[in-house]
Chains A and B, each alone.
Chain A
Amino acid sequence: MTPTLSRRPETAHALERRRRAIHGWLLLTPALAMLATFAFYPSVATVWTSLFSRGTRRNPSEFVGLENYARLFDDPTFREVAVNNILYAAVTIPISIVLALVMALWANSKIPARSFLRTAYFTPTVLPMIAAANLWLFFYTPGFGVLDQIGALFGAPSVNWLGQPETALWAVCAVTIWKEAGFFMIFYLAALQTIPEDLREAAEIEGASRWTYTRRVVLPLLAPTTLFVLVNAMINSVKLIDHLFILTKGGPSDSSKLILYYIWESAFAFFDAPSAAAMTVLVLIVLGAVAALQFRLLDRRTHYR
């Protein structure tokens, strides 16, 4: 075959490939434009801002490198807030997931008023966080709040749950767990309903107890859902701070302050954008690293159908 003859199909092939590439890029463009405007550009801008000093009228902002970060690590408030957030995550994530799983297993079993139970569990999720926080504000109010009234029945002294540093963070945690467990339950419930009844029957015939079946079949089959819920819970432990605005505003004396609230405060109450930017970058790095670790560790042990 001569080269001139073989060139034509080649060019046709190249044309086809280019056409496909253009097609692909066209399909990607809308999402890419949105992401670039609202995600990539702000991220880069944040990193950029975090490298400059705070500009005032007299001292215009100048490049300071990692000085903002260094200052953060010396800031006792930042350290306290970080510890608060770690505690907050360590308490709310496992408890809400375990609670969600138990509720889902219960709401999935053959019990009367099953749909009422599911609706009841899901209600906190439907409520906006601000509304939920107002509700809990009433529960926690010293004197005539529900908790104190119940406590009074048993002769317990009145407790100002939100007003003292020892209890404020835990009170905030309780609201988060109450709010999130129902949401996570829905995912577990959906996953449980994809497990065919046959598997339970097969296990039963083999002599497996209910607990063995749950441990050896149900929980492994729920692993993808757990991974999904875990990542969501982790992100929420940083993201979900609406209730702080209603309940404690981070107080008393920063005892219930979480990172995102502190970032918001720095940026919009103290107008220290560079410091807020530096904190944001740190949070992004930590969240990214933890998410990557989770996927890597759990993916290997997770069965996807």
Chain B
Amino acid sequence: MPVSEAPFVALHGVTRRWNGAGGVQGVSLAVPRGAFVSILGPSGCGKSTLLRLLAGLETPQEGRIEIAGRDVTARSPAERGLSMVFQSYALFPHLNVRENILFGMKVRRATRPEREQALARATAMTGLQGLERRKPAELSGGQRQRVALARAVVSGQPLCLMDEPLSNLDAKLRHTVRRDIKALQRRLGLTVIYVTHDQAEAMSLSDHVVLMREGRTEQTGAPETLYHRPATPFVARFIGDPPMALVEGAALGEAGQIGIRIEALERVPEGRADLTARVADAEYLGAETRLLLDHPQAEGLALILPGRVALAPGETVGLHLPEKHRVRFGAQAEAAAARDRGAAAAATRDGREAALPSPSTREDTR
């Protein structure tokens, strides 16, 4: 493997727990230079702790952190060569936009022309021209967000950590800022590590997704891998909207559990069906009708049919599960699934509180 392929950011068995609970446990990770990596998971899964460990705001109890080939485990945040965008943006309320953006450069004693040049570039990139004299309180949520981004741009660091940067924006703005972040990352060739609880955000932005659960990585891979080939029922339930349908193998004459994306389900006459389900509800969405289905040995079954389909609740439909779209979870996974069924069901994908056994993590106490 060529030298340039060495990971830019690497974690080796990093652990940080609070009184033996919460936090992260034995997480290893390799992030190539210029990648956009999302750390995804329900609240309390340790994703923010992981980011804070990378930033140096927390110290690991075990393990090693390397950035750009240097062991930075014991280094201060400033020595690690990174910038960070906080969930709250962490703008200094008494400083105006200009002073906020240049705070770091002033601390580092950059010369005046350097500062002016950096400021002009950053404000142009983030569309903040003309707002330099405003205080954060006089800005909209989206503008504050941009100031936080501009601060990261001006820092000139190759690594940018983002902690749920879009969670305080409304849905519409979230989409545009999402695109802006992606464009900024490409243009500056930044390596971005992005924490989110929103699977759609993670899927649409990143090259790699790290799905975390109770302090450990559940699965790491490209978004399409997590979508089509989830490693565990937890991933299957977490990724995708709607999530994967899960069917007990017994219903199909197989062992373990079978997962399938609902768009892969086919409606067939009941005589030839793999599974016969009862219609629980029908949602007409204009171009399509979404049928929510009930089956005693399956969860999350739904069927998308084009146009308007008149099927009343209580009627039955025959389903075919094409072989190539089936994802098989072994008996081991099934045992794990039985253990966490309650927990995962509560860990809804819109990030509502998960019923995790460790309520004393940092995220919860914040």
Highest count of chain B CB atoms <10 Å: which of A196, A198, A203, A221: A198
Chain A 215-229 near chain B by CB (<8 Å), digits 1 or 0: 011001101000000
Residues of A close to B56: CB separation below 8 A = 205
Residues of A close to B155: CB separation below 8 A = 206
20 A-B interface contacts by CB (under 8 A): A196-B90, A201-B55, A201-B57, A201-B77, A202-B84, A202-B86, A204-B57, A206-B155, A207-B78, A207-B104, A207-B107, A208-B107, A220-B94, A221-B94, A223-B94, A303-B93, A303-B94, A303-B135, A305-B93, A305-B137
Chain A 178-218 near chain B by CB (<8 Å), digits 1 or 0: 00000000000000000010110111111110001000110
Chain B 76-97 near chain A by CB (<8 Å), digits 1 or 0: 1110001110101010111000
Closest 4 A/B residue pairs (Cβ): A206-B104, A207-B78, A303-B94, A198-B90
Contact B107 A212 (CB under 8 A): yes
Does B108 sit within 8 A of A, measured CB to CB?
A: yes
A213's nearest neighbour on chain B, judged by CB, is: B107
Highest count of chain B CB atoms <10 Å: which of A202, A205, A212, A220: A205
Question: Main SS of the interface on chain A?
Answer: helix
Interface residues of B in 120-178 (CB under 8 A from A): 135, 137, 151, 155
- Least Cβ distance of B82 to chain A in Å? 7
Q: How far is the CA of A206 from the CA of B100 in the complex (A)?
A: 11
Contact A202 B90 (CB under 8 A): yes
Residues of A close to B83: CB separation below 8 A = 205
Contact B78 A205 (CB under 8 A): yes
Identify A199's interface contact among B55, B78, B90, CB under 8 A.
Answer: B90
Given A204-B77, A205-B77, A207-B107, CB of A199 within 8 Å of CB of B92: yes
Residues of B close to A207: CB separation below 8 A = 78, 104, 107-108
Chain B 252-263 near chain A by CB (<8 Å), digits 1 or 0: 000000000000
Chain B 239-280 near chain A by CB (<8 Å), digits 1 or 0: 000000000000000000000000000000000000000000
Interface residues of A in 15-44 (CB under 8 A from B): none
Contact A201 B90 (CB under 8 A): yes
Residues of A close to B284: CB separation below 8 A = none
Residues of B close to A217: CB separation below 8 A = 92, 94
B residues sitting closer than 8 Å to A (CB atoms) are 55-57, 76-78, 82-84, 86, 88, 90, 92-94, 103-104, 107-108, 135, 137, 151, 155
Identify B78's interface contact among A198, A204, A223, A303, CB under 8 A.
Answer: A204
Highest count of chain A CB atoms <10 Å: which of B56, B88, B94: B94
Q: How far is the CA of A305 from the CA of B138 in the complex (A)?
A: 11
- Least Cβ distance of A304 to chain B in Å? 9
Given contacts A204-B76, A206-B108, A208-B104, 17 further A-B contacts (CB under 8 A): A198-B86, A198-B88, A198-B90, A199-B90, A199-B92, A201-B57, A202-B86, A203-B107, A204-B77, A205-B78, A206-B78, A206-B107, A206-B151, A207-B104, A207-B108, A212-B107, A305-B93
Q: How far is the CA of A220 from the CA of B100 in the complex (A)?
A: 14
Residues of A close to B137: CB separation below 8 A = 305
- Least Cβ distance of A222 to chain B in Å? 10
Contact B84 A205 (CB under 8 A): yes
